[in-house]
Amino acid sequence: MKTALVVTSISPVNEVLRSLASGAQSRGIPFFVIGDVSSPDEFELEGCDYYSVSRQPSTGFATAALVPTRSYARKNIGYLLAARAGASVIVETDDDNFPREGFWAERSRGQTVPLLKQGGWVNVYRYFTDALAWPRGFPLEQVQKPAPPFERIPAADADCPIQQGLADENPDVDAIYRLILPLPLSFRTDRRIALGAGSWCPFNSQNTATWRDAFPLLYMPAYCSIRMTDIWRSFVAQRIAWENGWSILFHEPTVWQVRNDHNLLRDFRDEVPGYLHNQTICDVLAGLTLNPGVEHCGGNLLRCYEALVRREFLEAKEMALVEAWLADLAQAT
């Protein structure tokens, strides 16, 4: 199993990036860092393959020419580079997440864990902490919904080509949580849970592994709020995963976050589309007729984004990017 690591960053070389580069280099893991127009002019880091905005067109990917600048969706270029390098698993994180030893451990796609199907909205944080906390992107109207007791969820064999690790200290909660509830927050390390068909929970791009069959589902939409791009990606990925009998694994924290500076009111503003529409977006996706089979992942992706554009959650020009992504990925793999 060949692993590649992908990060996008506008930060100068920092301690997190040094730790990631050192860990990747010592294990022979290709490490791609994707810059943007706000990235520093000088970026020298041994153990990392850095792609500035000026270097990105040299990849030959149509995605590099179409994806807007000042966009977290430039991370798509990193996924394509990792796929072209022969990765069978792409691991991604951010430049403010310190890896623990477990981050580098070998990952298994097959898991025997509690598997929750047809659960509707499931706040997985409730299984890892007694605190009232919820992941960014979780519908506010669902926060008080009780989670099925962990002990009553039957264990089963689950095929999990998408796996979300949690983050300690400053985890991925939304701006409302950050404005009114306490941090730091750490999670228990003795549990894992998989969500199958009919169970929704947002997952992010901060500590996430994706196997090759599911690479099409890595696509990050560009023409939406920066605070929603990985969240809306996760909803599309979950919906398509159901067609293949895949589950999403949520597991113990293997990173801790020392969060970059954020303006919380600006984050709140950028999360408003999610607060207002995440429930509806998932209803739209759940109502689509999709095709089972790995070979249909690309077509299903197009169908999902066409539906989101048709409902005006995304701009119409998103579709050119989706098509470029699929064409680039086909060449890269």
pLDDT single digits (tens) 290-329: 999 999 999 999 999 999 999 999 999 999 999 999 999 9
What is the reported pLDDT for 111?
Answer: 98
Position 42 pLDDT exceeds 90: no
Structural tokens at position 5 = 């690591």
What is the reported pLDDT for 261?
Answer: 83
Nearest to 88 by CA among 48, 159, 30: 30
Ordered by start, the domain boundaries in the chain are 3-332
d(CA 108, CA 86): 18
Give the pLDDT band (50/70/90) at residue 184. Answer: very high
The average pLDDT across 38-43 equals 89
Q: Are 238 and 230 a contacting pair, CB within 8 Å?
A: no
CA distances to 14, 20, 203, 295 from 300, in Å? 39, 34, 19, 10
pLDDT in tens, 60-72: 999 999 999 999 9
pLDDT in tens, 145-161: 999 999 999 999 999 99
Give the pLDDT band (50/70/90) at residue 41. Answer: confident
Position 262 pLDDT exceeds 90: no
What is the reported pLDDT for 321?
Answer: 98
Half-sphere exposure of 218 (CA within 13 A, CB side): 32
The average pLDDT across 171-190 equals 96
pLDDT greater at residue 165 or residue 260: 165
What is the reported pLDDT for 1?
Answer: 84
The average pLDDT across 130-143 equals 96
Level-2 CATH architecture, domain 3-332 = Alpha-Beta Complex (3.90)
Structural tokens at position 27 = 């294990």
pLDDT greater at residue 309 or residue 40: 309
Position 243 pLDDT exceeds 90: yes
Instruction: Report which DSSP code applies to 58.
Output: G
pLDDT in tens, 53-104: 999 999 999 999 999 999 999 999 999 999 999 999 999 999 999 999 999 9
- The mean pLDDT of the chain is 97
Kindly report the pTM of this predicted structure.
0.97
The average pLDDT across 194-200 equals 98
d(CA 221, CA 226): 9
